[in-house]
Chains A and B, each alone.
Chain A
């Protein structure tokens, strides 16, 4: 089963605008990660935020984490056409006897030139 759920499922914006994607999860976590995927191929790790952190920045990316609401957001500022991709949040899960990442369904972002 999938732990995280992203919202919205799809987002279309103009170049230069900011894009905000949200993720909700169900169980307690020690970290939450965001990944990017181009055209249904390999995922690329973007950023990891730990449970004791509230906000983290990396270039044009800003991630927040609210453990009381079990939610996270990914903000991409000054978006570019090259940011067009699907974005997934992922959280560690211990179901099945090992800790592995469980992914949400993703937000498909389209940045129009």
Chain B
């Protein structure tokens, strides 16, 4: 596709369950970012991949959060033992290079933990 694709669009899960959120970046984009956005707030950085490696995971809130990008394209954000406070929109973005000029966002995955 032409843009960043994220699935699922919406996910409702029970507290304590495991969830995976998928991001398919724009073809050829080497840099991939995950952000989390709570209601009324701006997006907060979680993790950044350059190619296959996590170049910066300083934004991950705790060890329940993990992300992979095994082939340098699709990325999966994994959340273990979900908590109600994890409810948010999880946004993925990609850019051609890692110089932070103009990143392209997907539509996000809205996670609700009940």
Task: Give the B-binding residues of A (Cβ under 8 A).
Answer: 2, 31, 33, 35, 40-45, 48, 88, 92, 95-106
Query: Does B102 contact A43, Cβ atoms closer than 8 Å?
Result: no
Given A43-B93, A97-B56: 7 more A-B contacts, CB < 8 Å: A40-B37, A42-B106, A48-B101, A88-B42, A88-B43, A105-B40, A105-B42
Once A95-B58, A99-B99 are accepted as A-B contacts, the answer to whether A2 and B105 lie under 8 Å apart by CB is: no
Query: 8 closest Cβ contacts across the A-B interface?
Result: A96-B58, A98-B56, A103-B42, A42-B105, A92-B100, A42-B107, A43-B105, A105-B42
Q: How far, in angstroms, from A88 to B33 measured CA to CA in the complex? A: 17
B88 nearest CB across to chain A (Å): 10
On chain B, the number of residues with a Cβ less than 8 Å from chain A's Cβ atoms is 32
Q: Inside 8 A of A48's CB, which chain B residues have their CB?
A: 101-102
Q: Inside 8 A of A96's CB, which chain B residues have their CB?
A: 45, 56, 58-59
Q: How far, in angstroms, from A113 to B45 measured CA to CA in the complex? A: 35
For chain B, residues 55 to 101, give those with C-beta under 8 angstroms from any C-beta of chain A: 55-56, 58-59, 89, 91, 93, 98-101
Q: How far, in angstroms, from A29 to B44 measured CA to CA in the complex? A: 18
Q: B89 — nearest CB in chain A belongs to which residue? A: A40
Query: Does A44 contact B105, Cβ atoms closer than 8 Å?
Result: yes
B25 at the A interface (CB under 8 A): no
Q: A44 — nearest CB in chain B belongs to which residue? A: B105
Q: Inside 8 A of B110's CB, which chain A residues have their CB?
A: 40
